[in-house]
Copies of this chain bind each other. A is one copy, B any other.
Amino acid sequence: MVVPVRATIYRGEEDVRIEDVDDPRIEESSDAVVRITHGAICGSDLWFYRGYEDWEPGWRLGHEFIGVVEDVGDGVNTVKKGDRVIAPFAFSDGTCEFCRSGLPTSCHHGDFWGRTNDGGQAEAARVPLADGTLIRLPEEIASSPELLVASLPLTDVMSTGHHAAVSADVKPGSTVAVIGDGAVGLCAVYAACRLGAERVIAVGHHESRLDVARGFGATDVVDSRSANALEQLVDMTGGGVPYVLEAVGSQASMDLAIDAVRPGGSIGYVGAPMAVDGIHPGRLFAKNASLAGGVAPARVYIPELLADVAAGALDPSPVLDLRTDLDGVPAAYAAMHERRAIKAYFVAE
């Protein structure tokens, strides 16, 4: 008997709906089925919502979730029924060359949630490659409603912000600018501070978000909409920013990152570059600035970040400023699209 579960489905531009789908079941011995207790909407979900990506009606949505294991295949060894688990935004086998070298987002057998795979904005999901993908939450997190919410951003935005800082090679004492005040940008501020940056300049244009940045440790803010944002960054840093974290993925933000970076400096970019036309490498060439980043290997970062959450040393939950339930997800997409919320999440328990 197939029991329907409810899931968020893409129906078209600015049109996502909660619909019944077949319940997830073990299909491969490496699968798990997870009942989702916490999920979130990502800024990158707005790309397809706004029509920047060629999505097909009927595709599943959501790639950030925490849940409870309901069932596992015969080959699954690291999680069991009843475990509270967190999933990174991509699944991966944990054993291939790329997984072993710390790049599970390039896993030979992995993929991203959603589209024709199950998604995380749902009541439950089939998790392929459960051993390589899921991480069991420690008891002090699993038993705490607050720490569960604090852990939810690790599925993507906190790991992605961390990836920007790691990719730029931010060091203790660094001066850093973060372009973008979305959830990833705010988490990048937090990550840079956590890695010991001394001065962190948040560049954005929403006062309430810049307040979150200050709470995460930003020492300065620059209004990205001011005509002289670039000049401010260059002046504040005496000639250019040594470490620039790009957390938007637009041409304007990439241009600002390239123009603001100091000779010999580095750009860590993690904004999915959906709205970037292109960059001319000559702009980086003349000043020997490097460009690194990409799809964050969240699976690698989560254990380290979780330890800080468990210890009370990391709490990125201020980026989650709109709580809803699964039925509220479509309205939450609209709220994020209209910039009424930084990031929405739902709790189902």
Q: Is A101 an interface residue when CB atoms closer than 8 A count as contact?
A: yes
**Inter-chain contact B281/A273, CB cutoff 8 Å:** yes
Give the chain B neighbours of A287 by CB distance below 8 A.
Answer: 106, 294
Tell whether A58 is near chain B: CB-to-CB under 8 Å: no
Closest B residue to A97 by CB, please name it.
B239
Asked if A264 is an interface residue, CB under 8 A from chain B, the answer is: yes
- By a CB distance below 8 angstroms, the chain B residues around A289 are 294
List residues of chain B with CB within 8 A of the CB of A105.
Answer: 288
**A254 at interface by CB-CB < 8 Å:** yes
Q: Which residue of B lies closest to A167 (CB)?
A: B290
CB distance from A78 to the nearest CB of B (A): 24
A294–B258 Cα gap in the complex (Å)? 14
Residues of B within 8 A of A264 (CB): 98, 101-103, 106
Shortest CB distance A107–B (Å): 9
Chain B residue with minimal CB distance to A270?
B285
Most buried by B among A284, A285, A291, A293: A285
Also in contact, A286 and B281, with CB within 8 A (given A98-B263, A264-B101, A264-B102): no
Known: A103-B263, A288-B297. 11 other contacts (CB 8 A): A167-B290, A272-B282, A273-B280, A273-B285, A276-B280, A276-B282, A278-B279, A279-B280, A279-B281, A285-B294, A291-B291
